[in-house]
Amino acid sequence: MTDSHDHDHGFAHPVSVKLLLSVFFSLVFLTVLTIVLNDLPLGSADIVIAMMIATLKASLVMLFFMHMFWEKGFNVVAFLSSLFFVSLFIGFTLMDTGSYRDDIDSFPEDKQPAPRVPRTAPGVSSNDVRPMPPATLVEGSISPLAKPNPHVRL
């Protein structure tokens, strides 16, 4: 990293080509590694390992490609704070949804499985092919969502 400050470029801090290339090859190596590890029987640890490798890759990109290594402290804190709020979002939501998940999973079974639209293209003319919930869903339904709605309008 010393050679990145070898000249005076004002507020520009060019990163040396050598560093850029070595970061790139480390990233490729880690990518291959994570694919190879994925085929090994690691049990439930595989997600942890995969996410650790991904985080390692992300750190390399952030530190050197995104110059975070030389960045102003305020900017680093600003960016990393976003991760804190994302984890807050995931954490609270995950903490909650478990308690009623069974109701949701049993909802289609209680009411018949969700109808499928056979053999149509995604996205096209969805106005016409909105799947109609079966009649049992409509009568005596417990919630308004089961109302038939043949025409989804904008």
Partner 1 sequence: MSTVETTADSHDEHDDDHHDHGEFIAHHFDSAEQQFDSGKLGIWVFLVTEVLFFSGLFVAYTLYRYHHPEVFVDASQFLDKVLGGINTVVLLFSSLTMAWAVRAAQLGNNNFAGKLILITMVCAAAFLGIKAVEYSHKWDLYILPVSYYNYMEGYHPEAETGGIAGALNISKWLVTLSMLPLLCLALFSAGALFMAATGKRLMAQFMLALAIMMSGYFVGAFAGQTYQNWHEANLAAEEHAGDHGHDDGHAAESATAGPDSTSERPPQIGVFFSIYYCMTGLHAVHVIAGMAALSWLYLRCLKAHFRPDYFGPVDYVGLYWHLVDLIWIYLFPLLYLIN
Partner 2 sequence: MSATPQAQKLFGHAEENNYLKCSSGIKSWLFTLDHKRIGIMYLIGVTVALFLAGIFALILRSELFTGDENFLTEAQYNQMFTLHGAIMVFAFIIPSIPAALGNFVLPMMLGAKDVAFPRLNLASFYLWMFGTAFLLTAMLTNGLDTGWTFYTPYSITTTTAVIYATMGAFILGFSSIFTGLNFLVTVNTMRPKSMGWFKLPLFIWSLYATSIIQILATPVLGITLLLLIAERVMHIGIFDPAYGGDPVLFQHFFWFYSHPAVYIMILPAMGVISELISVYSHKKIFGYSFIAFSSVAIALLGFLVWGHHMFTSGQSQLVTLVFSAITFSVAIPSAVKVFNWLATLYKGSIKLVTPMCYALSFIFLFGIGGLTGLFLGTLSTDIHLHDTYFVVAHFHFVMVGGTLTALLGGLYHWWPKMFGRMYNDFLGRVGCFLVFVGFNLTFFPQFVMGSRGMPRRYARYDPEFEIFHQASTIGAFILGIGILLAFGVLVHAVFFGRKIGGNPFGAASLEWQSSSPPSFHNFDHKIHMNAPYDFGAMVYDEEMDTYIQRDFVTPESPEVPAAEPTKA
Residues 56, 70: Cα–Cα separation, whole Å? 18
Residues 6+ apart with CB under 8 A from 61: 23, 27
Is residue 57 near partner 2 by the rule CB under 8 A? no
Is residue 73 near partner 1 by the rule CB under 8 A? no
Binding-site member from 2, 93, 125, 143 for partner 1 (CB under 8 A): 93
Angle at the Cα of 110 from the Cα atoms of 109 and 115, rounded to 5 degrees:
55
DSSP 78-104: HHHHHHHHHHHHHHHHHHHHGGGHHHH
Contact letters (x/-) for partner 2, 97-126, by CB under 8 A? xxxxx-xxx-xx--x--x-------xx--x
Please name which of 142, 139, 149 lies closest in space to residue 103, comparing C-alpha atoms: 142
Q: Which helix (H) or strand (E) holds 34?
A: helix 17-39
Is residue 11 near partner 2 by the rule CB under 8 A? no
Residue 42 interacting partner from partner 1, partner 2, none (CB closer than 5 to 8 Å by kind): partner 1
The residues binding partner 1 (CB under 8 A) are 9-15, 17, 20-21, 23-24, 27-28, 31-32, 34-35, 38-39, 41-42, 46-47, 50-51, 53-54, 57-58, 61-62, 64-67, 72, 74-75, 78-79, 81-83, 85-86, 89-90, 93-94, 97-98, 101, 105, 108, 113-114, 116-122, 131
